[in-house]
């Protein structure tokens, strides 16, 4: 990776800029796809499956028989690994979820509380292609199970034979998801947004994807369908000092780079010696990767920035707002406490980001492209609506009503005032 030593703050914005996508081309293509799905429904999805996946489909919904058969194709050791991840992710998400909140009496006779109610219909998008992400099924379907969503729809692209990856189907079944459809890309997002003959429209769409999927989700928002978060290509930022093992650092950078050519990895360090050693390790480790070409292209979008101190690295990291932040320093816990902006933080030399991607218990569906400044990663809370309640007794209305009457009058909203006044009058007459 290119090494930049002691840059000035005036260079920060340029140095931390994400790779730019050809947004105009993506926009046009996605809008065309959405329009065709809206107009032609299932037939458009069949045509896109043939065009993009080279698959000739007669039906979109995965049958129970296909799900059962998929389980026989998954190796026993992979099943065991998926079950281990399931248990950790379930434990973490269920303990972080507060379904009901205590009833609070804000003043005598006036009580308020909040409950979490599951979103009725949710859609899960699971990318396929060269790396079918069955781990994403765990990250999305486990929270839906805890939240209790009434209807869960999962879409994923197929191979040329018209089959969804067996591990994806096995994991979905393990999580209790049975409504699975053969649809990928922006067309799957369009189907879950507008509905087709087979695929129902949903209330909120979750899941990562390429630039086309991301733009389709953004357009879905304009149609009144919520999404988990805006997201772009995957990214990692590593803060490392001279004590860090360069092989560990290089391995973490490459683990993210292999996601796609538009992924970005950044190393912030206070040691030129480490920066050079990491570059040597990148060359060595790249040669062993099955996705070498993909990782190499991502490395072209990436850089190492040598700063004066770890304190400076912290400031630059917060300015970047990374999706994943790995802290590989001598006092990693102390550094982590100083971080203000990140999607998910990995503390210490042995906490590689791969653990969180698969099985530590946290969620790997995280805000990218700087959205960690104002979005959180997916959790059970993402699948529920927080509904507030309030209840007044006659005494409560007598205690609070006069203040509301004064405030409504000051805002010139006479009907608001009257809604209180008629009730107070009724109470006075009754007594």
The pLDDT score that the predictor gives to residue 22 is 64
324 is in an annotated binding site: yes
- Is 218 considered catalytic here? no
Whether residue 325 is predicted with pLDDT greater than 90 in this model: the reply is yes
User: Which tens digits make up the pLDDT trace of 69-90?
Assistant: 999 999 999 999 999 999 999 9
Number of domains making up the chain: 3
Does 259 appear as a known binding residue? yes
Look up the domain containing 426 and give its range.
394-430
> Considering the domain boundaries, does residue 400 fall inside one?
yes
> Is position 256 annotated in a ligand binding site?
yes
Clarify whether residues 79 and 214 are in a common domain. Answer: yes
pLDDT tens by residue, 37-73:
999 999 999 999 999 999 999 999 999 999 999 999 9
Residues β-bridged to residue 182: 156
User: Average pLDDT, stretch 129-151?
Assistant: 93
Q: Of 174, 193, 228, which residue sits at a domain end?
A: 228
Cross-strand pairs, 206: 124
Please report whether residue 158 resides in a domain: yes
User: Mean per-residue pLDDT for 86-109?
Assistant: 93
Residue 210 annotated in ligand binding: yes
Q: Please check the confidence at residue 101 and state whether its pLDDT lies above 90.
A: no
What is the model's pLDDT at position 236? 97
| % of the chain beyond a pLDDT of 90 | 90
The tokens for 161 are 């034979």
Over residues 359-414, the pLDDT tens digits come to: 999 999 999 989 999 999 999 999 999 999 999 999 999 999 999 999 999 999 99
pLDDT of residue 21: 63
Q: Both 307 and 266 in a single domain?
A: yes
One domain, residues 164 and 236? no
Instruction: Using the predicted structure, report yes or no on whether residue 99 has a pLDDT greater than 80.
Output: no
Same domain? For 339 and 357 the reply is yes
Q: Is 56 annotated as a binding residue?
A: no
Contacts of residue 296, defined as CB under 8 A and 6 or more positions apart, other chains included, come to 257, 286
On the 0-12 / 13-18 / 19+ scale of CB atoms within 10 A, 237 is buried
Average pLDDT over residues 10-34: 87
Q: Considering 323, 330, 353, 364, which one is annotated as catalytic?
A: 323
Last residue of a domain, one of 198, 228, 258: 228
Domain shared by 303 and 264, yes or no: yes
Please indicate, yes or no, whether residues 209 and 318 belong to a single structural domain of this protein. no
What pLDDT does 210 receive?
84
Q: CATH no. for residue 98?
A: 3.40.50.1980
Q: Is there a binding annotation on residue 416? A: yes
Q: Are residues 277 and 422 in the same domain?
A: no
221-267 confidence digits (pLDDT tens): 999 999 999 877 889 999 999 999 999 999 999 999 999 888 999 99
Task: Give me the chain's average pLDDT, please.
Answer: 95
Catalytic residue list contains 324: yes
Residue 364 is labelled as binding a ligand: no
Q: Which residues contact 12 (CB under 8 A, 6 or more apart)?
A: 316, 319
Measured CA to CA, the distance from residue 378 to residue 233 in angstroms comes to: 16
Within a domain: 6:
no
Residue-level pLDDT at 132:
81
Q: What is the rounded distance in angstroms from the CA atom of residue 300 to the CA atom of residue 316?
A: 20
Same-domain status, 250 and 200: no
- Asked if 91 contacts 99 with a C-beta cutoff of 8 angstroms, the reply is no
- How many C-beta neighbours within 10 Å does residue 89 have? 25
Tens-place pLDDT, residues 274-296:
999 999 999 999 999 999 999 99
Residues 293 and 346 occupy one common structural domain:
yes
Determine, yes or no, domain membership for 15. no
- Strand extents, DSSP E, 359-407: 384-392
pLDDT given for residue 54 in this prediction: 95
Q: Give the pLDDT band of residue 18 (cuts 50, 70, 90).
A: confident
| Best CA proximity match to 400, nearest among 106, 18, 187 | 106
- Asked whether residue 274 falls in the same domain as residue 419, the answer is no
84 lies in the same domain as 206: yes
Q: Is residue 14 part of a domain?
A: no
Does 77 reside within a domain? yes
Q: Poorest-confidence range of 25-29, 112-116, 357-361?
A: 25-29
For residue 209, is it within any domain?
A: yes
Asked whether 141 and 89 are in contact (CB, 8 A), the reply is no
Q: How many Cβ atoms are within 10 Å of 267's Cβ, its own excluded? A: 29
pLDDT for 129 = 67
**Whether 212 contacts 185, CB under 8 Å:** yes
Q: What residue ranges in 187-250 does DSSP mark as E strands?
A: 204-206, 226-227, 235-240
The pair of three-digit structure tokens given for residue 395, joined into one six-digit string: 């005494």
Q: What is the pTM for the complete model shown?
A: 0.93
In contact, 174 and 166? CB cutoff 8 Å:
no
Residues 288 and 267 in one domain: yes
Strand partners, 204: 122, 226
Domain boundary among 186, 202, 228: 228
- Domain assignment present for residue 147? The answer is yes
Taking Cα atoms as reference points, which of 384, 388, 381, 383 lies closest to residue 117?
Answer: 384
CB 367, CB 229: distance < 8 Å = yes
Checking if the pLDDT of 130 tops 70, the result is: no
């Amino acid at each position: 990776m290119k090494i930049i030593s002691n840059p000035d703050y005036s260079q920060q914005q340029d140095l931390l800029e994400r790779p730019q996508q050809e947004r105009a081309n993506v926009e046009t293509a996605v809008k065309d796809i959405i329009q065709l799905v809206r107009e032609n429904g299932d037939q458009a999805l069949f045509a896109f499956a043939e065009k993009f996946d080279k698959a000739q489909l007669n039906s979109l919904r995965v049958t129970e028989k296909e799900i059962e058969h998929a389980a026989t194709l998954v190796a026993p050791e992979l099943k065991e690994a998926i079950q281990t991840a399931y248990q950790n992710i379930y434990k973490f998400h269920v303990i972080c979820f507060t379904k009901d909140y205590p009833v609070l009496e804000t003043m005598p006779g006036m009580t308020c509380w909040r409950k979490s109610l599951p979103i009725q219909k949710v859609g899960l998008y699971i990318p396929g292609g060269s790396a079918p992400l069955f781990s994403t099924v765990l990250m999305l379907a486990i929270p839906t199970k805890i939240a209790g969503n009434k209807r869960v729809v999962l879409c994923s692209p197929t191979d040329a034979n018209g089959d969804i990856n067996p591990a994806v189907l096995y994991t979905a079944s393990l999580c209790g998801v049975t409504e699975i459809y053969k649809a990928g890309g922006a067309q799957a997002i369009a189907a879950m947004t507008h509905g087709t003959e087979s695929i129902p429209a949903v209330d909120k769409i979750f899941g990562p994807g390429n630039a086309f999927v991301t733009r389709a989700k953004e357009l879905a928002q304009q149609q009144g369908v919520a999404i988990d978060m805006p997201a772009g290509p995957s990214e990692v930022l590593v803060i490392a000092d001279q004590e860090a093992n360069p092989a560990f650092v290089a391995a973490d950078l490459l683990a993210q780079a292999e996601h796609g050519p538009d992924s970005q990895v950044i190393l912030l360090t206070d040691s030129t010696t480490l920066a050079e050693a990491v570059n040597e390790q990148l060359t060595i480790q790249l040669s062993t990767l099955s996705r070498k070409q993909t990782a190499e292209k991502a490395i072209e979008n990436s850089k190492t920035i040598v700063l004066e101190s770890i304190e400076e690295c912290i400031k630059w990291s917060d300015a970047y707002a990374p999706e994943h932040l790995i802290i590989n320093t001598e006092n990693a816990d102390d550094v982590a406490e100083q971080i203000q902006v990140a999607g998910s933080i990995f503390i210490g030399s042995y906490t590689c980001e791969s653990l969180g991607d698969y099985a530590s218990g946290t969620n790997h569906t995280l805000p990218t492209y700087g959205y960690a400044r104002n979005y959180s990663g997916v959790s059970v809370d993402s699948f529920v609506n927080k509904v507030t309640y309030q209840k007044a007794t006659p005494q409560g209305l007598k205690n609070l009503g006069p203040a509301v009457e004064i405030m409504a009058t000051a805002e010139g909203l006479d009907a608001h005032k009257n809604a209180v006044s008629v009730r107070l009058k009724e109470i006075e007459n009754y007594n």
